[in-house]
Structure 1
Amino acid sequence: MEYKGRVREIVPYDRRRHAGGYGFIQSDDDQSIFFLLAWANYQPVKVGDYVEYETEMDEANRLHANPVQRDEKRMAKQIKLMLKQGNYTTFRKRLPVPGVRTSTTNMAAAYEYLNNIQNDFGEDNDVLPSTMLSTINEWISKLLDLMDDFDKHEQLKNLLVNRNLLPKKNQIEELITLQKNLRKMNYEQRGRYYGVRGEQLVQAKLDQHQLEYVQNPTLPEFDSDGNVIGATEIDFITVSMFGIHVIEVKNYGANKNQEQKITITKDGQWGRIGAAQENVTNQNDLHIAAVEGVLFSAKELENIDKVKLLATPIFVIPNENVELQNLSAEIIVRTGLLYDAIARPIRKTRQAILKNDEVQRILAVLNNALEANRQFQYVLPDEHFLNDAYSMLSRYEAAMYVFEHLEEIYQ
């Protein structure tokens, strides 16, 4: 007679007599059925599988199943019925992995593109646009967790994978890689948000004192022989009668609700609570070298004494959340003392370092130098990113619905 049912339990059976791997299926009606695992469609039958087989009595008068194979059609029918009840469907196309692409562009264009996508996401989901990357990252985590939950129901999981409700094996690695890219974009964006906010405060202070400056210039980076080996981005370069100042804005602690402490050691190491040490001083030294490299090599400035073209580094912490302990010789100030730090060296002498025409010529050289080195590589969502993310979420919800109704599937 034919039999169909779900595997409740598999128990090894007398391995001394049957080295081929006999066992028991404890079926839905509690009837013990003896069967040969090797006949289970050439695959081990697992707990939770739906199986179908014919039965006969063996020489010991025990009910013997022969052969045993998975009953895929019945389970597929149950899944289809279950999805229909939940107003879900299966898909012809495989589950999409939201894509990212590497683009060569400037920072302003990169973040404008990302912000436009985030604004669309915010309108669709009634959430803050800034939460897009974190939210989609969470969607992926839920999907991967659900895949793990289905490990105990491998037959059912394979059917959902074949119906494109769950990711195929090679797509799991793609999703994990995507999560890394999303975290990277999110980290850069958060840093950019607080960085921009800090730069706005510094810019307001420079405008208040009518200082001329170049904001966010990207200048060529030189090696010791004067060869261009890359590019470096600078927050501000001020050029005035006080000389040339390269300003690095570090808005550390701006996104914290508790006070932070920064200690700058004698050798320029910046230590923060909960963060690795950074040699921010060395970073700004690269900026100084880039500025002076451009100015020293400019023919338009040949008649200006090189001493006047030396740049002075200034670090600005544009918030009051952090406690500063500066043991170095570097100039590190709050925004309110920025102008004083720029003007202090010549307050006593009352002698301008740069004349007005020199200021304008230097600014022109800097603006000309930065044009060719503005573009960098950015990892950004592709044009199908949002649609693929929404499709991925809808399939997760359908698969989750099936998981929540396992008992009905196995009836």
Structure 2
Amino acid sequence: MSALDPIVLTQDLIRRPSVTPADAGAMDVLEATLRSLGFSCRRMRFGEIENLYARYGTARPNLCFAGHTDVVPVGDAAAWSRDAFAAEIVDGVLIGRGAVDMKSAVAAFAAAAADAVNTGAVKGSLSFLITGDEEGVATHGTKMVVEALMAEGEVIDHCIVGEPTSAEAFGDMVKIGRRGSINVQIRVEGVQGHVAYPHRAANPVPVLIELLHRLQGRVLDEGYTDFQPSNLEVTTIDVGNPTTNLIPAAASARLNIRFNPAHTGAELAAWIEGEAEAVAQGFPGKVVVTPAISGEAFLTRQGPFTELVSAAVRDVAGREPELSTSGGTSDARFIRAMCPVVELGLVGKTMHSVDERAPLAEIRQLQAVYARLIERYFATFATA
């Protein structure tokens, strides 16, 4: 057993109700643990968000673990079988908010790092990049930490993100890339009037419908190497008209595009703005498009690093992981500016759900995979 028990540390972290943006002492728990192992720790606070960068060693290569201590809200607390922040163990399963996403992964890598430090296996540096702003808007978390570290000249050679990547069974999937994401708000401003006198008004609703029709009528692509096709989804349409005989003054909509490397966020934003200009021709009102790019698509090319990660999974779990780019976004989208990044964690089926839970055996398996990964990493890259 490790000198550091990942189950106990996970429980300690879960018992800090760190719902974004609150930290509730979670970062203090992790910092104290890492300091006791000999890590040099830096708290990097931006706005109201607590972040931590900790490093053991000063030499290269520097293998970083990235993760987050913040969690999503509990939701209906009465629907939980146990207190969401009590971190109770029931029949070999740890129940609590953050058990899967992703306090257990943080604890598992900390336990693996403790073993590596104690056995002298660190032939370079190990580091942790931990944020309290992954589940929120992510503006004061990993993004700003990465920018600050790069400005200082800090070098991270490779990174493992502890997101719950496994789909059905532990170790069956590793993420080597993610699609990009762009959110777009559309507001069509017309002229309010009586429905019996449409010539005195300018109805924004048909203009909005036409714009959405044009946007949804385009097939963005048929897919991209290692990526599924990009998709555009309209998420809301709002007019807010309380009556039947009134032409409304405005109509709005929101949409999201998850896109592969065939596109960039800027290119998609320009396309939507161009379509908006086209439908606004001859309309006496105006169409306002407000895009927000959450992240660009990226891919970590298969090679020595991805093979090393796959080998660690094979060694411990006995299965060949699928190298995938599926799913939503993660903080890997920011870290990829510094180095190659791969995501590896627990089975994600219960993340964000009532009774979020992780089997103790899988948490220990994850620790073993991380330990094997660290061992293989320095054997491979410290002598490269």
TM norm structure 2 = 0.23
Higher helix proportion: 1
Q: Give TM-score, length-normalised by structure 1.
A: 0.22
The answer to which structure, 1 or 2, has the higher relative contact order (CA under 8 A, 6+ apart) is: 2
